[in-house]
Amino acid sequence: MTTESQLVDYLLGRLRDPEAERLDEASLVDDAIASRLRAVENDLVDAYVRGTLRGETLARFEGHYLSSPVRRDNVAFARRFARAIDRASVATPAPAAPFVFAHRTMRKLSMAAAIVVAACSVALLREAARPGGGAAAGRPLSSVGAEGADIPRQTDLRAVRDAAPDGRRLPAARIEPPASPAAAAVALVLLPQTRAVGPVPALRVPLQTGRVTFELRLEGGERGTYVVALRDPSVNRLVWRTRATSTAGGALTVVVPASILRAQHYSLDLFADGAASDADVLGSYVFEIASR
């Protein structure tokens, strides 16, 4: 019996020759093994593009699996596929739980989320206020809530593409301006997007606010250099972007000029540094500006 772990080892070139040759043959001759191998490979590639591979497996994946153009094509496809799946799954509500349970649970979760977000935001503001910090000392957080606000709905996978008829290229203009130390600031911590349809973090931004600081927590504390762009879903366009920014402590700090924010939903889309198109988004952080 071939285990899933053996199949992963085979794909990563970790098996010894006799065992690898056995699987070479089985991958061609045995329909069951061929199907399982394909499923395991898809899951392995998906795990890579979702950033959940770790340690030696990640190293082997990058050192061995990605050495082939055919397999790099698989990864490129998986990236686009995962993005389409994620958008579609957000648009597909999970089966409804009984109302009382859902209501109580959501209220507790909302409160807990609000507390965590507020605590993190205060810490973020303090950090930003230090000399040399990215943002000036801000006024107290005006409002961070988790009142229910729906993520913009999409009906199916087709809608993912329909929603992007233009604006695919990362905007060259409106790159992050230098921060003004005197301006007031508010802050919000955004967690990695999950499949669950939960409340969208909402932020109240007073008119005198100069900029809004977001801390984007990366899944699994991933490290690297990224570009973050602000998407206006009402026109489905990227309206502002940062320069290449490196992670610190598994998060990215993004300072958005408050002047470009209106009372509506937005998403901060994450791209690899050097991405040429907004089709290559690695992740999206949805939030709502509750009022200005």
Among 5, 52, 180, 264, binds other proteins (CB under 8 A): 52
CB-based contacts of 163, cutoff 8 Å, min separation 6:
154, 236
Among 58, 149, 197, 279, binds other proteins (CB under 8 A): 279
At position 104, the amino acid (one-letter code) is R
Query: Long-range contacts for 40-43 (Cβ within 8 Å, ≥24 apart)?
Result: 40/4, 40/7, 40/8, 40/11, 41/7, 41/11, 41/74, 42/78
Segment near other proteins (CB under 8 A); pick from 23-31, 109-117, 199-207, 243-251: 23-31
How many residues touch other proteins (CB under 8 A)? 51
Query: Please, what is the minimum distance in Å from the beta carbon of residue 64 to other proteins?
Result: 10
- Distance (Å, whole) CA 179 – CA 230: 17
- Within residues 88-117, the interface with other proteins by CB under 8 A covers 88-89, 92
Among 107, 139, 195, 243, binds other proteins (CB under 8 A): 195
- Within residues 3-22, the interface with other proteins by CB under 8 A covers 10-11, 13
Query: Please, what is the minimum distance in Å from the beta carbon of residue 142 to other proteins?
Result: 35
Q: Per residue, what are the HEC states of the chain?
A: CCCHHHHHHHHCCCCCHHHHHHHHHHHHHCHHHHHHHHHHHHHHHHHHHCCCCCHHHHHHHHHCHHHCHHHHHHHHHHHHHHHHHHHHHHHCCCCCCCHHHHHHHHHHHHHHHHHHHHHHHHHHHHHHHCCCCCCCCCCCCCCEECCCCCCCCCCCHHHHHHCCCCCCECCCCCECCCCCCCCEEEEEEECCCCCCCCCCCEEECCCCEEEEEEEEECHHHCCCEEEEEEEECCCCEEEEECCCEECECCEEEEEEEHHHCCCCEEEEEEEECCCCEHHHCCEEEEEEEEEC
Segment near other proteins (CB under 8 A); pick from 33-41, 134-142, 197-205, 244-252: 33-41
Query: Please, what is the minimum distance in Å from the beta carbon of residue 110 to other proteins?
Result: 21
Among 19, 22, 75, 85, binds other proteins (CB under 8 A): 85
Say whether residue 32 binds other proteins (CB under 8 A). yes
Q: Which is nearer to other proteins, 38 or 223 (CB)?
A: 38
Say whether residue 25 binds other proteins (CB under 8 A). yes
Q: Which is nearer to other proteins, 35 or 180 (CB)?
A: 35
- Within residues 212-241, the interface with other proteins by CB under 8 A covers none
Q: Which is nearer to other proteins, 248 or 276 (CB)?
A: 276
Query: Please, what is the minimum distance in Å from the beta carbon of residue 34 to other proteins?
Result: 6
Q: Which is nearer to other proteins, 67 or 264 (CB)?
A: 67
- Within residues 136-165, the interface with other proteins by CB under 8 A covers 156-158, 160-161, 164
Give contact residues for other proteins (rule: CB under 8 A): 10-11, 13, 24-25, 27-29, 31-32, 34-36, 38-39, 42-43, 46-47, 50, 52, 68-72, 74, 77, 80-82, 84-86, 88-89, 92, 156-158, 160-161, 164, 168-169, 195, 274, 276-277, 279-280
